[in-house]
């Protein structure tokens, strides 16, 4: 089973859930797809065994062949190329590496060279197979790294994917094709607002959802009212507890500090498994 | 006219709460919510929407099956696995248009596509520009740039002194779009291992794009040792620390009541917030 963990709102506890679920189960592959700000490694402290760069193909123009016809700039949907007064300007940070420019160039003047935008590291933390991606500081595009990470999913294991906050492309790439999307929220107006957006995203991707409410005893009851109305199961609640906050601040996994939580995470997994096996009747409203 | 963006790297450190507090304290401002993906500032500022615009920045491929001879060239060329068995998957599609260019029968055309909406609103603190990106849509960076552009236009037209931008989490495209060319960024961090790790990366982004940065430490009393680590890091890297805010459940209560932490008195949190605003204002001079 492949489980993605998303939220909408940042800071609700995605990494906490991902890491502690991984530490409570067997046969785990954990993939940290928050490549902008990966945090899982801070808690799991993996031994990295392999690392490889991730690049995207960016155009290089051979100006000796170029006749400045401008077809490349016209073809580029991302405005990553501009042809002005006898020169070709490239805006690499806008380039998606689609190849349209080199395809269309009538003079064959464009060669694509791979530009590194980040790395993927693979290793082990105890028995957990660990993978994360790290976007280089200053780079704009996280999706190509996440796409590569998703290509490493091993379906013979229980795969846990930690997504980034929000609900746009990087999260979509992380959640797409997973069997279950666990949404971590907090019972506050911001939490609920962003949860709704995340639910819409998961429904767009036809991935069933369930909710974990973190800091469950602060705020108000509207998250539960929403989940009841939308028939989204609330699978776990974690109270606000200074001990949990302090352990988190030190990089100590919750189940290490409070081992009684291992059973709760195992139960969470069992519930998700049951929902995936039962199918759409309970866990999402089909689009 | 100055521009300030509130960012964090790590999500959930308190950007929106602090931005709303600044809105309560500042005079003659325009607010901009650059978290177009999961906007929350409106939940405190309760904007009255005056103008709504469609955000159409990209195109999507549409296939005319009557012209398709199933040659498969589009599927072969697509680098985003967005064409499988000659069916276009708009979720995976990045809108590059290569399939349309390559189709020998011109069976694919690129069509304009509404990717979200931009709103110009009035709040009790002044005008606000905000947006909502469509579900699973691309080009969040472009929408952020548009939000900022509209905010600048309003500031110029109405003689506003300051644009305060509530930034998104992370370090990628939408964050970069929210900080380009601003006078200052305020990095809101928290004294956790994750918060520190992420703060260092976002500080690196600010440095990379040559934008001056200040830091404030939220919930500093969760881990005093880490708060000190943050102060040491900032000192080593020439980043001013403008304040440290204690953890207080009152902040959540203020949010539930749709008030800023200035309007809803949160004791020491409110006091510290005023001090932070003074320092940020001075830094913007």
Q: Domain holding B78: CATH number?
A: 3.30.70.20
CB atoms within 10 A of CB B106: 10
Contact B58 A220 (CB under 8 A): no
For an interface test with B, the pick among A10, A16, A19 (most B C-beta atoms closer than 10 Å) comes out as: A10
Q: Which residues of B touch A11 (CB under 8 A)?
A: 10-13, 169
Q: What is the pLDDT of residue A281?
A: 57
Sequence spans of domains, chain A: 2-27+157-283, 55-116
Q: Do B128 and B91 share a domain, yes or no? A: no
CA distance A167 to chain B (A): 6
User: Is residue A192 helix, strand or coil?
Assistant: helix
CA distance A81 to chain B (A): 13
CA distance A55 to chain B (A): 13
pLDDT score of A268 more than 90 = yes
Mean pLDDT of chain A: 94
Instruction: List, as ranges, residues 7-26 from B with C-beta within 8 Å of A.
Output: 8-13, 16
Q: What is the pLDDT of residue B139?
A: 79
Q: Which residues of B touch A15 (CB under 8 A)?
A: 194
Domain containing residue B92: 60-113
Q: Do B34 and B136 share a domain, yes or no? A: yes
CB atoms within 10 A of CB A97: 23
Q: Which ipTM did the prediction report?
A: 0.94
Q: Do B127 and B226 share a domain, yes or no? A: yes
Q: Do B64 and B28 share a domain, yes or no? A: no
Closest residue of chain A to B248, computed from CA coordinates: A218
Contact A194 B171 (CB under 8 A): no
Q: Do B104 and B209 share a domain, yes or no? A: no
pLDDT score of B204 more than 60 = yes
Please compute the mean of the pLDDT values over residues B174-194 and round it to a whole number. 97
Q: Do B40 and B71 share a domain, yes or no? A: no
Residue A280 banded pLDDT, cuts 50, 70, 90: low
Q: Do B215 and B152 share a domain, yes or no? A: yes
Q: How many residue contacts between A and B have a Cβ separation below 8 Å? A: 190
Burial of B160 from C-beta contacts in 10 A (0-12 / 13-18 / 19+): buried
Q: What are phi and psi of A182, to 5 degrees?
A: -90, 125
Closest residue of chain B to A194, computed from CA coordinates: B38
pLDDT digits over A176-228, tens only? 999 999 999 999 999 999 999 999 999 999 999 999 999 999 989 999 999 99
Contact B256 A97 (CB under 8 A): no
- Interface membership of A37 toward B (CB under 8 Å): yes
Structural domain ending residue among the three candidates B69, B95, B113: B113
Instruction: List, as ranges, residues 91-110 from B with C-beta within 8 Å of A.
Output: 91-92, 94-98, 101-102, 110
Q: Give pairs for B253-256: CB < 8 Å, separation 24+.
A: B254/B17, B255/A188, B255/A189, B255/A190, B255/A219, B255/B17, B255/B43, B255/B44, B256/A188, B256/A189, B256/A219, B256/A220
Torsion of CA B275, B280, B284, B285, to 10 degrees: 20
Domain count, chain B: 2
Residue A76 banded pLDDT, cuts 50, 70, 90: very high
Q: What are phi and psi of B279, to 5 degrees?
A: -65, -40
For an interface test with B, the pick among A170, A190, A198 (most B C-beta atoms closer than 10 Å) comes out as: A190
- Interface membership of B140 toward A (CB under 8 Å): yes
Q: Cα Rg for chain B, rounded, in angstroms?
A: 22
For an interface test with A, the pick among B208, B252, B261 (most A C-beta atoms closer than 10 Å) comes out as: B252
Buried-exposed string A265-281: b where 16+ CB fall within 10 A, e elsewhere = beebbebbeebbeeeee
Please compute the mean of the pLDDT values over residues B93-101 and round it to a whole number. 95
Fold of A2-27+157-283: Rossmann fold (3.40.50)
Q: Which percentage of chain A shows pLDDT scores above 90?
A: 92
Q: Do B71 and B174 share a domain, yes or no? A: no
Contact B120, B42 (CB under 8 A): no
CA distance A249 to chain B (A): 4
pLDDT score of A284 more than 70 = no
Q: What are phi and psi of A207, to 5 degrees?
A: -110, 125
Q: What is the pLDDT of residue A92?
A: 87
Instruction: List, as ranges, residues 113-172 from A with C-beta within 8 Å of B.
Output: 135, 137-143, 147, 164-170, 172
Q: Do B177 and B238 share a domain, yes or no? A: yes
The whole-angstrom separation of Cα B253 and Cα B251 is 5
Q: What is the pLDDT of residue B136?
A: 79
Instruction: List, as ranges, residues 205-244 from B with C-beta within 8 Å of A.
Output: 205, 208-209, 222-223, 226
pLDDT digits over A126-179, tens only? 999 999 999 999 999 999 999 999 999 999 999 999 999 999 999 999 999 999
pLDDT score of B227 more than 70 = yes
Residues with Cβ < 8 Å from A119, sequence gap 6 or more?
A51, A52, A53, A54, A133, A134, A136
Could you identify the residue written with the tokens 């379906």?
A155
**What tokens does B159 get?**
């003689």
Q: Do B137 and B99 share a domain, yes or no? A: no
CA distance A121 to chain B (A): 17
Q: Residue B238: which of B275, B198, B206 has the closest Cα? A: B206
Q: Which residues of B touch A205 (CB under 8 A)?
A: 91, 136
Instruction: Using DSSP bridges, classify how beta strands A234-238 and A209-214 pair: parallel, antiparallel or unpaired.
Output: parallel
* A55-116 CATH: 3.30.70.20
Structural domain ending residue among the three candidates B92, B113, B134: B113
| Minimum-distance CB partner of A37 among B9, B98, B192 | B9
Q: Do B243 and B178 share a domain, yes or no? A: yes
pLDDT score of A269 more than 70 = yes
Alpha helices in chain A (DSSP H): 14-24, 40-44, 71-75, 100-104, 143-150, 169-175, 189-204, 222-230, 242-250, 254-257, 261-278, 280-283
Q: Do B263 and B216 share a domain, yes or no? A: yes
Q: What is the pTM of this model?
A: 0.95
């Amino acid at each position: 089973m492949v489980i993605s963990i998303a939220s909408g709102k940042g800071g609700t506890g995605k990494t906490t859930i991902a890491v502690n679920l991984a530490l409570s189960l067997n046969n785990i592959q954990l993939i940290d797809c928050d490549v902008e700000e990966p945090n899982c490694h801070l808690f799991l402290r993996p031994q990295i065994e392999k690392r490889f760069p991730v690049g995207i193909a960016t155009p290089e123009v051979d100006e000796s062949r170029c006749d400045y016809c401008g077809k490349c700039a016209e073809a580029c949907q991302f405005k990553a190329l501009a042809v002005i007064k006898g020169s070709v300007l490239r805006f690499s940070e806008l380039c998606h590496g689609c190849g349209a420019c080199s395809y269309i160039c009538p003079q064959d003047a464009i060669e694509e060279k791979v530009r590194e935008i980040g790395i993927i590291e693979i290793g082990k933390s105890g028995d957990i197979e660990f993978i994360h991606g790290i976007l280089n500081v200053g780079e704009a595009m996280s999706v190509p790294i996440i796409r590569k990470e998703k290509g490493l999913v091993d379906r013979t294991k229980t795969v846990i994917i930690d997504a980034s906050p929000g609900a746009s492309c990087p999260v979509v790439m992380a959640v797409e094709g997973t069997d279950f999307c666990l949404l971590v929220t907090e019972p506050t107006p911001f939490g609920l607002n962003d949860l709704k957006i995340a639910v819409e995203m998961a429904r767009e991707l036809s991935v069933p959802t369930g909710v974990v409410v973190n800091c469950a005893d602060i705020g108000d009851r509207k998250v539960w009212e929403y989940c009841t109305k939308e028939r989204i199961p609330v699978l776990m609640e974690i109270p606000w507890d200074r001990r949990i906050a302090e352990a988190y601040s030190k990089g100590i996994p919750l189940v290490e500090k409070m081992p009684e939580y291992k059973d709760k995470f195992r139960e969470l997994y069992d519930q998700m498994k049951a929902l995936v096996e039962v199918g759409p009747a309970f866990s999402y409203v089909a689009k | 006219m100055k521009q300030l963006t509130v960012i964090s790297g790590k999500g959930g450190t308190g950007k929106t709460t602090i931005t709303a507090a600044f809105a309560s304290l500042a005079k003659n401002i325009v607010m901009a919510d650059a978290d177009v993906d999961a906007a929350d500032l409106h939940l405190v500022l309760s904007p009255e929407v005056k103008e709504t615009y469609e955000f159409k920045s990209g195109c999507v491929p549409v296939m005319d099956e009557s012209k398709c001879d199933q040659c498969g060239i589009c599927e072969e060329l697509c680098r985003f696995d967005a064409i499988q068995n000659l069916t276009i998957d708009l979720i995976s599609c990045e809108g590059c248009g290569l399939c349309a260019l390559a189709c020998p029968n011109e069976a694919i055309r690129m069509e304009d596509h509404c990717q979200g909406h931009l709103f110009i609103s009035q709040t009790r603190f002044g005008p606000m520009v905000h947006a909502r990106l469509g579900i699973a849509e691309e080009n969040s960076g472009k929408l952020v740039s548009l939000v900022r552009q509209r905010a600048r236009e309003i500031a110029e037209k109405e003689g506003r002194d300051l644009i305060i931008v509530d930034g998104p989490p992370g370090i990628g495209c939408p964050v970069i779009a929210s900080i380009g060319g601003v006078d200052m960024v305020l990095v809101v961090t928290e004294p956790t291992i994750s918060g520190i790790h992420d703060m260092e990366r976002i500080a690196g982004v600010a440095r990379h794009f040559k934008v001056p940065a200040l830091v404030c430490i939220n919930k500093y009393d969760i881990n005093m040792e880490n708060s000190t680590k943050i102060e040491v890091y900032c000192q080593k890297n020439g980043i001013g620390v403008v304040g440290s805010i204690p953890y207080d459940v009152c902040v959540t209560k203020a949010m539930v009541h749709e008030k800023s932490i200035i309007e809803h008195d949160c004791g020491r949190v409110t006091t510290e917030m005023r001090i932070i605003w003074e320092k940020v204002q001075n830094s913007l001079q």
